Amino acid sequence: MLTKWVHTLIDNLVRSGVRDFVISPGSRSTPLAIAAFLHPSSRTHVLVDERSASFFALGLTRTDDALRPVALICTSGTAATNYYSAVTEANIFELPLIVLTADRPHELRGVGAPQAIDQVGLYGKQVRHAFDLPLPEETGLTYVQHVARRAALLAMTEPAGPVQINVPLREPLIPELDLLQTGQSVGRPLRAIAPSLSEELSEILSIPRLLIVIGPQLSATDTQFILDYAERSHIPVLADPLSQGRQSSYATVFGYYDTWLKDETVQQKVRPEHILRFGAMPTSKPYLLWSKDIPTTVVGHPGNWRDPQLHAEFLSGHPSQLQAMPETAHDVSYLHTLQAAEQTVAVVFETLDTEQLTEYNVVRALDVLTQGSLFVSNSMPIRDLDTFLPTGTPLRILANRGANGIDGIVSSALGATYDADHRYLLVGDLAFIHDINGLMMARTRPMTILLINNTGGGIFNFLPQQTLDPAVFEPLFGTAQELDFRHLASGYGVDYELISSIPDLKTALQTTPVATRILEIRTDRPKNVRLHRRIWELTNQALQERFR
């Protein structure tokens, strides 16, 4: 019965669209792991570090433009607790993770049995639903099939998110292998159905000085619906890099708004009558502060209310609705004002020394890349990318912007870029150290890791904590480290190169790697702050001259 039980569970997950199974090795999960490994339509990935495995699975959910459910498998006990951070990220960022936690049978729960903890509902409010299966028996096979298909449905239904299936199993744990080598082909995951056309959306689209904002959690396809409509109707669009909108070269799409919204004069000049936002709140803090008292409508699904300012109106809808919307007339002078601000910043950026080894020049050096997927760490890397990445980039940009943590970055990057032809990761030293075991998976797919090493938490040098006495600031916030990344790379069997100049970085980026490599770029935290502030002085001066 054990064999038929686990086969029914795994086979119906595959039928429901699960292609990838990420396995954390263990004893109690043996039948689940074997069933996934032998299924003819599955792809299995074995990672011994559970936390790394969970973030790798998180990345695999978005190897395609459309989300696809991914299953995690672990043994009983504390193994499942190591998945908690990734489950939390999946919850907030709406990623369809299905967590299969093998468990002790019911009679061994709460009686002091080894490797047994209370796993029922382990992830609490972080999951869409938690199932606790009965022990394998013939009469329960129909229920197992139901749970597998329902779990995939729950994981993919907006808002997408994680689901737990707790699977208690008795010994013996070795299934028969013949049945497990058969199965259905990978099914098509559930697709969101766009709501019917909305009169309210039509009214908003007719506002003369309308600004569209696109944030994270949008697919490239959905973003294109928005950009095409905005181009036809001459509506300006602020494009967060994680919306994939920065790939566009439309004259209605803007990427440098994080800089020109720092200037108070420009803030007033570019103020719209209304903001229409698709996706989550953008990364840019200047946008967050500027938009807080501007009438805003957020279009999405009610399952995830993405309004941290608590002032926006919510409209249930989908970007695909814009395909059927007629063009609307807009104040073209408003579009021209934003274009003037964007061009002014672009001119200042062009005057900057492009060969100076700085953190922002690392981002600007990415313009030598002609294709590929770039995963970006939280903290300073995503902020520099948001500020300095222009529109027209060929790169697909990815990041963990749900809980915004620095945990699991390397593993998430390897998963999210798994099916890409060219893979890149932009990461700081602390985030890299935090997930160093992610490199164990790096040998399976060559990736270029741009490691910005400013020996510590560089973002805190931009925050109010920086005014503290160095005797307090450095141990608590600077957290300097002096690790030798060359030796770390050697220990994990990946290549290493110390980059001494931006021209050297560009040359390295134009070379196709045959193995995963770390390109270490060493920078200075205090100097980095001074250089950034000097740029804002130059851009503010140019913007004030343009708009006075």
Domain range annotation of the chain: 2-179, 199-336, 352-537
In the predicted model, is pLDDT for residue 545 greater than 80? yes
Structure tokens given for 214: 């696109």
> Please, which pLDDT band fits residue 376 given cuts at 50, 70 and 90?
very high
Task: Report the C-alpha gap between 26 and 33 in whole angstroms.
Answer: 9
Helix 50-60 to helix 84-93 angle, to the nearest 10 degrees?
Answer: 20
Decide if 199-336 and 352-537 have a common fold: yes
| pLDDT average, residue stretch 399-423 | 94
Task: Report the C-alpha gap between 234 and 327 in whole angstroms.
Answer: 9
| pLDDT average, residue stretch 41-52 | 96
In the predicted model, is pLDDT for residue 193 greater than 60? no
| pLDDT average, residue stretch 264-280 | 96
Task: Report the C-alpha gap between 255 and 258 in whole angstroms.
Answer: 8
pTM of the model: 0.92
User: Which one, of 438, 451, 517, lies nearest residue 56 by Cα?
Assistant: 438
pLDDT in tens, 223-250: 999 999 999 999 999 999 999 999 999 9
Answer for the pair 141, 4: CB distance below 8 angstroms, yes or no: yes
Q: What pLDDT does residue 548 have? A: 81
At 532, give phi and psi (nearest 5°).
-60, -45
Helix (H) or strand (E) holding 50: helix 50-60
Q: How many CB atoms lie within 10 A of CB 177?
A: 11
Strands 313-316 and 296-300: parallel
Helix (H) or strand (E) holding 340: helix 332-351
User: Which one, of 108, 101, 77, 111, lies nearest residue 171 by Cα?
Assistant: 108
Q: What pLDDT does residue 95 have? A: 96
Structure tokens given for 10: 């795994």
Q: Percent of the chain, pLDDT > 70?
A: 98
Average per-residue pLDDT in the chain? Answer: 93
CATH class of 352-537: alpha beta
Task: Report the C-alpha gap between 528 and 276 in whole angstroms.
Answer: 35
Please determine, looking at this structure, whether the domain spanning 2-179 carries the CATH number 3.40.50.970: yes
CATH architecture of 199-336: 3-Layer(aba) Sandwich (3.40)
> Please, which pLDDT band fits residue 496 given cuts at 50, 70 and 90?
very high
Task: Report the C-alpha gap between 450 and 489 in whole angstroms.
Answer: 13
